[in-house]
Amino acid sequence: MTIAPARTRTAWPVVDDSQYEGSRIPSPIPTVKRVPADYAEREDIMQINFGPNHPSTHGVLRLIVDLDGELVEGIEAVIGYLHTGFEKSMEQKTWWKCVTYSPRIDYVGYQANELTFVLAVEKLLELEVPEKATWMRTLLSELNRIHSHLIYLGTSALELGAISMFWYCFRERELILDLFEMVTGQRMHTRYFQIGGLAEDIPDGFFPECRKFVDWFPHALADYRTLLDRNAIWLERTRGVGVLSASDAIALGQTGPNLRASGVDWDLRREQPYLAYANVDFQVPVYTAGDVYDRYRVRMDEMRESNRIVDQCLRRLERMQGRPWIVDDRKVVLPPREELHTSMESLIHHFKIVTEGFRVPEGEVYVTTESPRGEQGCYLVSEGGPKPWRVHFRAPSFVALEATATCMHETLVADLIAIVGSLDAVMGDADR
């Protein structure tokens, strides 16, 4: 398999939807689709609440839907039911304690949030992270991407009646969670990325176990394809449903798989390589129909590519055993545990960092990464003190839900569920 390296690509993403005839962004409010004025007077328009508590809303999303029989004529998404005030809470905590908050925002793609926050703090501190930590972060981010896409695939297929998909996807998800547990001690919300590197060294047993997973996963993907790719019901339910055109997707700020399913060839891992992505070989899947089916295909292909990246990271990391996993800067990083018993300075550093935290120089940064759901941004403002002045997360789920109204075009209620599922919004991420 050969791909063109990122550096030779000079054209910007091709956006050609002159042939497109589907729905456009509603006006004047881009995120609300209203019933046409001549319709609104009719008695058979029924307004119902879809959610906030509904098994297929992936958390607590409320959709106010205007129905004409089974046709969706108007829709407005209402969010905020899972608002937890992370941004406010993080302003009250020292920098290193904030790391614990970030994975809990998007509880499916947790390492992506953690990574973005940690990268942003490191940018403010101008820290150089050891190579081993960079590769391990890449590996875990990609495992997390597979994990997130498996949840998407399992739940959205379940909502369309393919119950067995759910069990198959969660079978592999278990394997990934076991790997996370082995490395970090936690199955979810791992808090393994530390400012300056990793919280702990990679355990020896991880490499053979992860290798087993990498070898197995292509077979699992083949299983999923057997179940869905030529499944008549699946194809009927997903093809041509919830179409989003390329230019609308860009105007609505869509990123990640939702954007690539609309035919825009854009992936931050390739366009602005961070971590070790410049040194791994992977393809960026792009499909052009912009419907639910293509979002599914993009994610399926991404899982395959992520598995390849994990494989390449493993090969590198196996040769890096014994190397440092965190930067040796005692003003920022906790000293090794064993030194606390023998070194006065280490004890002081430990005490200072734990009680007072460390100061981060004054400034502001905006760091973006490609999370499983798209462009994950983190905006940080530092006053120069031990706590952040302002933390803001650019949540890809929040932006994805803005597209719900545009995706509704001669949509039936049943398709609504397929569309919301395919946008793959995690409400914790959207509401923060």
- Comparison of 34 and 330: residue with beta carbon closer to other proteins: 34
CB of 142 to other proteins, least distance (A): 21
CB-neighbour burial class of residue 319 (10 A; exposed 0-12, middle 13-18, buried 19+) = exposed
User: Tokens 């990122």 sit at which residue?
Assistant: 6
DSSP code string of 19-33 = T--S----SSSTTEE
402 part of the interface to other proteins, by CB under 8 A: yes
34 part of the interface to other proteins, by CB under 8 A: no
- CB 103 within 8 Å of CB 191: yes
- Comparison of 14 and 414: residue with beta carbon closer to other proteins: 14
| Site track 243-272 with other proteins (rule: CB under 8 A), x = hit | -------xxxx----------x-x-x--xx
- CB 93 within 8 Å of CB 391: no
- Binding piece for other proteins, criterion CB under 8 A, among 3-11, 178-186, 187-195, 342-350: 3-11
Cα–chain-centroid distance for residue 241? 23
Query: Strand runs (DSSP E) across 269-410, as ranges?
Result: 363-371, 374-382, 388-394
87 part of the interface to other proteins, by CB under 8 A: yes
- CB 425 within 8 Å of CB 373: yes
66 part of the interface to other proteins, by CB under 8 A: no
CB-neighbour burial class of residue 383 (10 A; exposed 0-12, middle 13-18, buried 19+) = middle
357 part of the interface to other proteins, by CB under 8 A: yes
- Binding piece for other proteins, criterion CB under 8 A, among 22-30, 134-142, 334-342, 418-426: 22-30
Choose, by CB under 8 A, the member of 17, 305, 375, 424 that binds other proteins: 375
| Site track 103-142 with other proteins (rule: CB under 8 A), x = hit | --------------------xx-x----------------
384 part of the interface to other proteins, by CB under 8 A: yes
Q: What are phi and psi of 33, to 5 degrees?
A: -100, 125
* Residues comprising the chain, all counted: 432
Residue in 360, 367, 423 with CA at minimum distance from that of residue 393: 367
385 part of the interface to other proteins, by CB under 8 A: yes
Start-end of H helices in 274-379: 292-318, 344-355
Using CB under 8 A, list all residues that contact other proteins: 6, 9-13, 15, 25, 28-32, 79-80, 83, 85, 87-88, 92, 94, 123-124, 126, 250-253, 264, 266, 268, 271-272, 355-357, 359, 362-366, 368, 375, 377, 379, 381, 383-387, 389-390, 392, 394, 398-399, 401-402, 431-432
